[in-house]
Structures are given as C-alpha cells and as structure tokens.
Structure 1
Amino acid sequence: MMLNFQKKKEIVAEIHNTTKKALSIVLADLRDIKVNEITKLRALSRTIGVKIHVFKNTLTKLGIKNTQFECLKKILIGPMLIGYSIDHPRNAARLFREFSENNVNFKIVGAVFEKKILAAYDINTLADIPTYNEVLQRLIITIKEATLGPLMRILMSIAQNKK
C-alpha cells in the first residue's frame, strides 16, 4: 500500500510521540514469524504497557530524531518489530525474551536504555530490572529475616535457661 505524504507525516508524529513517552525500546527481527504469533504478542503487550510497532525504517529514523533513542539508527536494518516500554523499562525486554524462548525464529536484535545501545546478549540485564513493588517486597523479607533471627535466638536461650 502506498502512503501519501500526509499519512507518512502522521506516522512519523506517532512514532515521535510514543518514543518521547517510552522508557526503553527493544528491537526484534520479524523474518520467519507467523502473523498469528505476532497477534498473540500484540495481545500480551497491551496487558503489560508495551506498545509494538512495525514501520518502515526510514519513517522510524525520522520519528526518533531528537529523542533519547536517536542512537537506534545504527541498528535499524531490515524488517524490525519495535517494542516501546511505557510503564517500566524492563517490560518490552521481558516480553520479547519470553516470546523468543517459545519461538525459535524470533531474534532480539538489541535495545536502548538510558541512551545506550544494549546488544541482544545484554537484554537480560534490562529484562531483570526489578520493579518498585519487587524491591519493596525484598526489603520487607530482609527486614523480617533480620528481626526474626535474633528474636528466635533470644527465645531459644530463654527456653534453655528455664530447663
């Protein structure tokens, strides 16, 4: 389908607006992926706050101009599926990593986080960033363990003294 100039401008504006809201971006190669699998991925992405786009690379390059993701131009080659993490930086990385485990042909090309390009093998560092709630849960568990240990030792010594 041919796009007229006005439609291309709208697409570039949409990419630019999405990129400004995004916390991180993950790129994946689309070759040899079936449409129904991409549809499932899109459905999953909507539930966790990830926007997924497939646009021409030239339009994407224009859309990311003057944003923190401008360094993406270096790795935009071939048909790409772009995942924008809106809620938390790790969401797109985790979604793509889990999807690639079930689909052999789905290959993660790279990611951008805090103006740095992460290679495909570094995607786990981005995907394993804990959320605020996970950090709080770990802190609460640590505090519980730290206070229960001495309390148990005191109770054990009291029980031994009474014997």
Structure 2
Amino acid sequence: MSVVKTIIENLKILSENFKYKSDTFSNSVIFINEVNKIKIQPENKVGFSITYNLYFGEKMLLVSEEAVYHFCLDLFKRKNSDIEVIYRAGKPIDVSEWFKIERKEALDAIDAIQKELEYNYRLKYLFLESKRFDIIYFNDLMIIEDKKKEYLFNVFDFKILKLYEN
C-alpha cells in the first residue's frame, strides 16, 4: 500500500475515535461530525490539500506529508468551527527517536498495550502517558504526542511497533 493510501486509511480509523463519519471518493476523503467538515486530498509531491469549515466559510491549505497527522488530529479535536487550526511545520516523532528519548518507558507502554490486548482482544482505546509523551492506542494504531511540543504527533501501526521490543 502506498504511503498516501496508508495515511488516508489511518486517518479514517483515527476519525472514529472522535466520532466522525467519513466518505471516500476517488481522490479525496471527507470527515464530518457535528462541528467539522474536513476534506483531505493528496497533492503531487506537496503533501495534502486540506479544506475545513471556518466560521461560515472554508479554509484550504497545503500540509506536508510529515505534518498531516498532527494537523488532522488538531482538526479532529476542534470543538468549535470558529477556531482556526494553525499549521505547524516540524519533524514528527519517529519510533527510533522515541526509543532514544525514553527507551524503557516506550517498551513499558508497548508491553502494557500488549498485555491489555491479551486480556481483552476487543480493546479499541487505551490512554497511557510517560513524563514526555502521551500515548494513545486506538484500534491497532498508536498515536504519540510530545508534551514538550518539540515533535509533531505521529501515528504508527501497533503491530509494527511490537517489532521494536527486541
């Protein structure tokens, strides 16, 4: 699966956590809830064109592939259509960097999720935190958010993360 398709599929899964409905079209996806209407469309080599409702109109901007999860998660969390989401360029946290910063805590988080999954194979949501990161497990995806805001949010397939334990 291409990176773009993976991102779109992951965003569809993540949107469920925020009670969105989604519609997929040939070249875009739309997410809707009682506050937001968000359209995401891949753009050639630029990243993604994201259009969302703002006040009584719309705002459109280009978001890099690296920042798309961060920007979309900020939009998904938005509680009022009058709030503009600010695009922030930056480097998303990756697994190797997470392990450099707090290896033991990262391994403990992965282990805790795995144990919870063994106990409850239907687990959809689990929130964990370390001193530096908020970690959310949702439907086989793991969201890592830097409390210090040095890194952008990032999303990982939990099955792949388990390989880092060794």
TM-score of the superposed pair, with normalisation by structure 1: 0.24
Question: Which structure carries more relative contact order (alpha carbon 8 Å, separation 6+)?
Answer: 1
Q: Which has the higher helix share?
A: 1
Structure number with bigger Rg: 1
TM-score of the superposed pair, with normalisation by structure 2: 0.23
Q: Which has the higher strand share?
A: 2
